[in-house]
Chains A and B, each alone.
Chain A
């Protein structure tokens, strides 16, 4: 069984697969060997697929944690900035008191486009 192509120094995967298939099928005819190879490939494929799904799921969970932490961080900054801005507005209002001015007859509102 040639597993290494001496001329090129590369692994001969076809020969390896045939060898394993022959070994597993106990020297059964070629079409059974092919069947064994396909079953093996399917097994490998489903294993990797399950691993990839597991990895993606864990990656999604990690992303949820990262996202929540970042949102909290951004919220803290926004809260602090709003507090500072509100203080500045209060100072401006303090310099421009509206004592004596009437309230608007209809409450002000934003006009939506």
Chain B
């Protein structure tokens, strides 16, 4: 009995330094919450992106990259656009996705990434893979288009406000998420408001993409798309870290569960750090836990924008 007691104490002592993420009961990928850092045409997205490309343009011109953490592997698939790309990466590499050919149709790209922590830092805790989505709408010449992307959960309300310039009532059609949405909407000050929860089946998990059209009395048809991810309500997105700027640079302190923080291409495997910071330039701040909860901070011209 005494030996068993001694063994338990030894085990408990050994486990005490293992840094887990207990803030969220679910890992991001378990909750269907996309958190891969996507860089598309120099714009950053946290796990979910929706863009349009003109039909006839070249995929090679799309600068689509994925930010790696430490070392690991990435897979990008697109059934509609015949892509199944896998690669391994090291040293926090930015991985460019090699897509080629002419843009002829819509494409959905599913991205998954597995990464591992440096051997000397890894204390034996499970590191969860992360996921991401990129939706590309192929827009015909002269076709007008507007889109949005959202992460929502539970019995959500999420209003899509479109500045269309319409003053007369417009007819909106949306399909793709289990509901045939058709509604006459009166714009307010040139803005059409669509309640997305009315256009989709709620309380499901994963991505669905709405496709539709806004038919106006005064203007050309406006093509609509919305990429909506419904995630598990038990998932807790990562909170914005505490940060301050002084002569030493940018000090960041994230939640205790954070394993990696980084500014631009400099990463540390701890929850806080001080980084060189030029206030006159643009910067990207990242924080990540072993459960794949991430947050991105974009600094531009003295202002911060946080992407959960």
Binding site for B on A (CB under 8 A): 13-14, 17, 37, 41-42, 44-45, 49, 52-53, 56-57, 59-61, 63-64, 67-68, 71-72, 74-76, 78-86, 88-89, 92-93, 96, 98, 101-111, 113
Q: Choose among A80, A85, A102 the residue with the greatest number of B CB atoms under 10 Å from its CB.
A: A85
Which listed residue, A76, A81, A88, A93, touches B209 by the CB 8 Å rule? A81
CB of B125 within 8 Å of the partner chain:
yes
CB of B218 within 8 Å of the partner chain:
yes
A53: chain B residues within 8 A (beta carbon): 122, 124
CB of B11 within 8 Å of the partner chain:
yes
Q: Evaluate contact between A75 and B110: CB separation under 8 angstroms.
A: yes
B105: chain A residues within 8 A (beta carbon): 83
Report the Cα distance A111→B206, complex, angstroms. Answer: 24
Report the Cα distance A76→B82, complex, angstroms. Answer: 11
A74: chain B residues within 8 A (beta carbon): 110, 206-207
- CB of B223 to closest CB in A, whole Å: 7
Q: Evaluate contact between A71 and B112: CB separation under 8 angstroms.
A: yes
- A71-B111, A71-B131, A86-B106 known; 16 other A-B pairs, CB under 8 Å? A41-B7, A59-B126, A60-B128, A63-B114, A63-B129, A64-B73, A67-B112, A72-B75, A75-B108, A80-B80, A85-B210, A98-B219, A102-B218, A102-B219, A105-B165, A110-B160
- CB of A108 to closest CB in B, whole Å: 4
Q: Mark B137-155, 1 if CB is under 8 A from A, else 0.
A: 0000010111110000000
Q: Evaluate contact between A111 and B163: CB separation under 8 angstroms.
A: yes
Total A-B residue pairs with C-beta atoms closer than 8 Å?
A: 184
- CB of B51 to closest CB in A, whole Å: 12
Give the size of the chain B interface in residues (CB under 8 angstroms): 74
Which listed residue, A41, A79, A109, A113, touches B108 by the CB 8 Å rule? A79
CB of B164 within 8 Å of the partner chain:
yes
Closest B residue to A42 by CB, please name it: B10
Which listed residue, A67, A79, A88, touches B211 by the CB 8 Å rule? A88
* Contacts A/B (CB < 8 Å), 11 sampled: A45-B10, A49-B14, A53-B122, A60-B114, A60-B128, A64-B72, A68-B112, A72-B75, A74-B110, A78-B208, A107-B144
A101: chain B residues within 8 A (beta carbon): 216, 218-221
Report the Cα distance A56→B122, complex, angstroms. Answer: 11
Q: Evaluate contact between B80 and A110: CB separation under 8 angstroms.
A: no
CB of B127 within 8 Å of the partner chain:
yes
A110: chain B residues within 8 A (beta carbon): 146-148, 160-163
Which listed residue, A49, A57, A89, A111, touches B161 by the CB 8 Å rule? A111
- CB of B141 to closest CB in A, whole Å: 12
A76: chain B residues within 8 A (beta carbon): 77, 79
Closest B residue to A46 by CB, please name it: B14
CB of B78 within 8 Å of the partner chain:
yes
- CB of B94 to closest CB in A, whole Å: 20
Q: Evaluate contact between A93 and B213: CB separation under 8 angstroms.
A: yes
